[in-house]
A and B are shown apart, each in its own frame.
Chain A
Amino acid sequence: QSALTQPASVSGSPGQSITISCTGTSSDVGNYNLVSWYQHHPGKAPKLMIYEVIKRPSGISNRFSGSKSGNTASLTISGLQAEDEADYYCCSYSGGGSFHVLFGGGTKLTVL
């Protein structure tokens, strides 16, 4: 099973919106509403930002939103702030008869 496909990098200016895509297949992203997104500042623990495609954990800003269309999930960050600069990873359940999850390769977000 291959990793999910994310762009290597995206960038935006403070206040702007950006979207990070996460492309899988009909066996994972396209077949389950079980996509999650993680923010990772190097040297720190990854942080759950979105789960079940669109849901935000308690304490996560509503500037972060998730969506899905077909085999592609997306994370949108609106009103970019300097502290949003980090690596972002998507993850999807992929079933296959037993438990398995796939991660994306990660996207480096630069706030200009």
Chain B
Amino acid sequence: QVTLRESGPALVKPTQTLTLTCTFSGFSLSTSGVSVTWIRQPPGKALEWLARIDWDADKYYSTSLKTRVTISRDTSKNQVVLTMTNMDPVDTATYYCARMTTGYSFDYWGQGTLVTVSS
């Protein structure tokens, strides 16, 4: 059974760095073809893809956020970590991690974690 769960702070202050952890089970990020991504959704707005990390450690970032976002993995712990620097109130959103599969679709998602940026 594949599961993913996001964890991290619910509240961060402007200019701080956000660190979110995706802990997954039921698959291995060492398996060829497997990728994990981060996606966010600001309140009332569209989903936005943020970053992706592959089984071979290749990384991809949203063009608009690539200067602020870093994705990393710990395959021994089955975790993927997202860091986002210089947080701003516009970054307030529910952050999801998801496994990417065939056709660049996302077959399993976590339930998401709401991050509010406020002083």
Contact = CB atoms under 8 A, between A and B. Distances in A.
A104 B46 contact: yes
Interface stretch (A13-21, A38-46, A73-81): A38-46
A91 B52 CA distance: 15
Contacts of A43: 111
A38 B106 contact: yes
A48 interface: yes
Contacts of B62: 100
Interface in B105-119: 105-112
Given A3-B46, A46-B96, A91-B47, A99 B60 contact: yes
A27 to B, nearest CB: 13
B102 A103 contact: no
B111 A51 contact: no
Contacts of A51: 101-103, 105, 107
B111 A45 contact: yes
Nearest to A49: B105
Interface in A10-30: none
Interface string B25-46: 0000000000000010000011
Contacts of B103: 33-34, 36, 51-52, 55, 93
Contacts of A47: 109
Contacts of A46: 96, 98, 106, 109
B46 A44 contact: no
A45 B46 contact: no
Most buried by A among B49, B101, B103, B107: B103
A84 B111 CA distance: 19
Contacts of B105: 34, 36, 48, 51-52, 91
B104 A103 contact: no
Interface of A: 1, 3, 33-34, 36, 38, 43-48, 51-52, 55, 57, 89, 91, 93, 96, 98-106
Pairs A-B, 10 closest by C-beta atoms: A36-B105, A103-B47, A51-B105, A52-B103, A3-B46, A99-B60, A45-B109, A105-B46, A93-B104, A51-B103
